[in-house]
Amino acid sequence: MDLYLLRHGEAGKRLVAGSKDSERALTVTGTKEVEEIAGALAKLGIKLDLVATSPLARARQTAGMVAKKLKIKKDKLQEWDELKPEGSRAKLYDRLARFKPEASVMVVGHEPYLSSMVSELVFDGQKGRIVLKKAGLVRVGILSFNPRPKGELRWLLTPRHMKRMEA
């Protein structure tokens, strides 16, 4: 399986106490950046079987823009609670393990969840760590989910790399 992990774009400042962080939306800059990244993905010819997103507003917006640019059907854009910042990676891996080995899936979420996931998949949680910038993208080739999730890093693209592809 090709697993793409995309961090949401730049979002507004953390809101005042008592307001919901889940409702923080992308900034104008974040929206523009995600649009450029979606264009770069289209130029790369990325084909996805599914885009799964955290239900938080900024991730949903990011996933929606990518899905639109890549012409992903609405039923192939899904919200998964497992991708919330406090979501269960074990449950996420169980869901992903149901896909065919040749599937191509993108998950859109948050930090430090996604970087920890890459570390767990690629470095077995040992000695290696990747920090995913806002709107950064990682491609991991999944080798197995059982007995434990294991993959190999195929590439890591920062927003700057993807903007240059779009230009």
**21 DSSP 8-state letter:** G
Per-residue pLDDT tens digits for 49-87? 999 999 999 999 999 999 999 999 999 999 999 999 999
In the chain, what percentage of residues exceed pLDDT 90?
74
**CA-CA distance, 37 to 164, in Å (whole number)?**
10
**CA-CA distance, 64 to 101, in Å (whole number)?**
25
pLDDT score of 13 more than 80: no
pLDDT score of 96 more than 80: yes
Per-residue pLDDT tens digits for 107-128? 999 999 999 999 999 988 677 7
Which element (helix H / strand E) includes 144? strand 137-144
102 band by pLDDT with thresholds 50, 70 and 90: very high
Q: What is the pLDDT of residue 15?
A: 58
In the chain, what percentage of residues exceed pLDDT 70?
92
Q: Domain containing 17: what range?
A: 2-166
* CATH number for 96: 3.40.50.1240
Q: How many domains does the chain have?
A: 1
Which element (helix H / strand E) includes 62? helix 57-69
**CA-CA distance, 145 to 105, in Å (whole number)?**
14
